């Protein structure tokens, strides 16, 4: 092997193996974990007091620089954790070597990632709750606003716009619950696991876990350093959020299209066509829908990385961070757009009412009425109304206008004088079962949801050490 070949191989290894250019966003979390570790080492008399004091000063200085916007870490370091140690060596000299006592990059890296992820979950959950609130407000405002309810994109039954908004509000509140579960399932600190087998030093893992805001240390050092289940939990919950954002975006694109025209969007959330001045393209909703693909892909990417890995740490796990970072960033952007869409979309009440009142839209209500008032079994009633609809189509009349004799020709049980004329508003009002679209039920559901949302916001958060507190963990 020539010298040039060796040099090229070294450069290529650096290119494929270096992560500091993207995992530097974990720097403050590395600092937080390192502060807690040094504090524990000092209390356990594992490191000298002077060395511990120097390490704390160096970590404080580094945290201050990062928070000020400075970039003091070497971007060419192998990873952010190496870059932090190199910085400390430059600032405090040989005492920086004490920092690696009773720990390894394996347990440090996964701890920093858990700390970062906890902050992301907290921030994203708050955004999801804001979206739920925005949809709830629309639901309260439009409990009695009649619109078509679609099935297969065909008008199926009249419903209220408030009912639709509450449907999405319920969907996103469940996503907030999923994110809370991610928080709960990763409430353990890997620090003290070492490379894979623990450490021979008399460490106090409980104190480090408490300092970092975890409920307890992880139970098994070997499992801890290679576990990325918590990351997959986050990506899975994020995929659910993204899927539901995509569905909501698709709904808005459809509602706001010119042939449909059920809602309007403000200029700030649409774009004009470069060639067709009359167009108002719902770009925010379309992009929100499209970005779900990135989030779904990130979940699949990490699943593929970990699917064949035995226990302990492998370099494959270097690939865990970019899918997580991208998912967190993409969801934050998409949720912000969704909050604006949910807040600022305006239903065209008259257009919704007209669109709901198509021919025979209350045929299902008539079948229900025949079962309820004339004691005709529902399946029979359904078939009879289908025949009535066909007959009305042939005669060019509505169900209410079909003469008695014509009804008798279909079935003698339909030959009675008190033939109902069921309107759209009557149809909506009749759907009065719990969770139904009747305005009173929608208002009831909105009040109940507002209570659940308030209870959710009032829950004690899983409180850990955030990046901005990284210099205050001792």
Catalytic residues: 152, 273
- On whether the CB atoms of residues 33 and 115 are closer than 8 A, the answer is yes
Question: Which structure tokens are listed for 81?
Answer: 């954790």
Please name which of 324, 332, 349, 411 lies closest in space to residue 138, comparing C-alpha atoms: 349
Dmax (CA) for the chain in angstroms is 103
Residues facing 147 on adjacent strands = 159
Give 325-369 as a DSSP string: HHHHHHHHHHHHHHHHHHHH-EE-HHHHHHHH--TTTTHHHHHHH
Return the SS3 of 267.
helix
Give phi and psi for 155, each to the nearest 5: -65, 120
**How far apart, in whole angstroms, are the C-alpha atoms of residue 261 and residue 259?**
6
Residue 325 tokens, joined: 């970072």
Residues 6+ apart with CB under 8 A from 44: 201, 202, 203, 204
Indicate the SS3 state at residue 414: helix
Compute the distance between CA of residue 340 and CA of residue 265 in angstroms, rounded to an integer. 10
Contacts of 101 (CB under 8 A, 6+ apart): 41, 46, 47, 201
Q: Quickly count: other Cβ atoms within 10 Å of residue 383's Cβ.
A: 15
CB–CB of 40/208 below 8 Å? yes
CA 306 to the chain's CA centroid = 22
The per-residue b/e assignment along 256-273, b for 16 or more CB within 10 angstroms, e otherwise, is beeebebbebeeebbeee
* Token pair 């007959």: residue: 391
Look at residues 330, 329, 308 and name the one whose alpha carbon lies nearest to residue 317. Answer: 308
Characterise 213 by phi-psi region: left (phi > 0), alpha (psi -120 to 50), beta (else).
left
* Crossing angle between the packed helical segments 161-185 and 439-458, to the nearest 10 degrees: 20
Two tokens at 123? 């921030």
Q: Could you tell me if 171 and 338 are in contact, meaning their C-beta atoms sit under 8 angstroms apart?
A: no
- DSSP code of residue 402: -
């Amino acid at each position: 092997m020539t010298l040039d070949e060796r040099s090229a191989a070294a450069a290529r290894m650096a290119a494929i193996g270096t992560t500091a250019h993207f995992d530097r966003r974990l720097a403050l979390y590395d600092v937080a974990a390192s502060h807690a570790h040094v504090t524990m080492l000092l209390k356990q008399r594992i490191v000298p007091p002077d060395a511990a004091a120097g390490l704390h000063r160096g970590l404080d200085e580094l945290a201050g620089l990062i928070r000020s916007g400075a970039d003091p870490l070497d971007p060419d370091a192998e990873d952010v954790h190496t870059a932090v140690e190199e910085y400390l060596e430059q600032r405090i000299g040989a005492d920086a070597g004490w920092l690696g006592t009773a720990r390894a990059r394996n347990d440090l890296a996964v701890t920093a990632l858990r700390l970062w992820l906890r902050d992301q979950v907290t921030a994203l959950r708050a955004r999801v709750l804001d979206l739920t609130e925005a949809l709830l407000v629309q639901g309260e405002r439009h409990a009695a606003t009649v619109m078509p309810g679609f099935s297969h994109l065909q008008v199926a039954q009249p419903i209220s716009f408030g009912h639709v908004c509450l449907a999405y509000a319920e969907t996103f509140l469940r996503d907030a619950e999923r994110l809370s579960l991610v928080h709960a399932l990763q409430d353990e600190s890997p620090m003290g696991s070492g490379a894979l087998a623990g450490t021979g030093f008399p460490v106090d893992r409980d104190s480090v876990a408490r300092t970092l805001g975890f409920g307890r240390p992880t139970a098994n050092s070997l499992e801890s350093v290679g576990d990325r289940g918590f990351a997959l939990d986050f990506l899975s919950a994020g995929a659910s959020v993204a899927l539901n954002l995509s569905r909501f975006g698709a709904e808005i694109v459809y509602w706001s299209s010119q042939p449909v025209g059920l809602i309007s969007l403000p200029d700030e959330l649409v774009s004009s066509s470069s060639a067709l001045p009359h167009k108002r393209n719902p770009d925010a909703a379309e992009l929100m829908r499209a970005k779900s693909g990135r989030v779904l892909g990130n979940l699949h990417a990490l699943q593929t990385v970990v699917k064949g890995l035995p226990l302990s740490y492998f370099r494959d796990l270097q690939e865990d961070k970019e899918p997580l970072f991208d998912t967190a960033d993409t969801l934050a952007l998409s949720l912000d757009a969704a909050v604006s869409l949910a807040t600022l979309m305006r239903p065209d009440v008259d257009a919704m009412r007209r669109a709901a009142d198509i021919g025979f839209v209350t045929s299902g209500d008539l079948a229900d009425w025949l079962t309820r008032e004339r004691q005709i079994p529902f399946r029979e009633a359904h078939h009879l109304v289908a025949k009535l609809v066909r007959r009305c189509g042939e005669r060019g009349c509505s169900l209410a206008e079909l003469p008695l004799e014509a009804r008798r020709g279909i079935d003698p049980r339909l030959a009675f004088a008190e033939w109902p004329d069921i309107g759209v508003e009557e149809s909506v009002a009749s759907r009065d079962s719990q969770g139904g679209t009747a305005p009173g039920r929608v208002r009831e559901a909105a009040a109940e949801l507002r209570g659940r949302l308030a209870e959710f916001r009032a829950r004690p958060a899983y409180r850990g050490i955030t990046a901005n507190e990284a210099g205050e963990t001792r």
